[in-house]
Amino acid sequence: MHGLINRAIQGFVSDNFGAMRWRAICRAARLEDCEFESMLHYEDSLTERLLDAVAADIGVPREAVLEDIGTYLVSHPNVEALRRLLRFGGESFVEFLHSLDELPERARLAVDDLGLPVLELRDVNVAEGHYRLCCRFAQAGFGHVLIGVLRTLADDYGALAFLEHRGVVVTKAGEAIETIDITVFETAFAAGRSFDLGAQAG
The domain limits of the chain are 3-59, 77-186
Q: What is the pTM of this model?
A: 0.86
What are the distances in angstroms from CA 53 to CA 13, 14, 69?
11, 14, 14
pLDDT in tens, the chain (202 residues): 778 889 999 999 999 999 999 999 999 999 988 998 888 888 889 999 999 999 999 999 999 999 999 999 998 888 877 787 787 778 899 999 999 988 877 766 666 666 778 899 999 998 889 999 999 988 888 999 999 999 999 999 999 999 999 999 998 888 899 999 999 998 766 555 655 555 444 4
CA–CA gap between residue 194 and residue 107 (Å, rounded): 23
Instruction: Write out the CATH class of domain 77-186.
Output: alpha beta
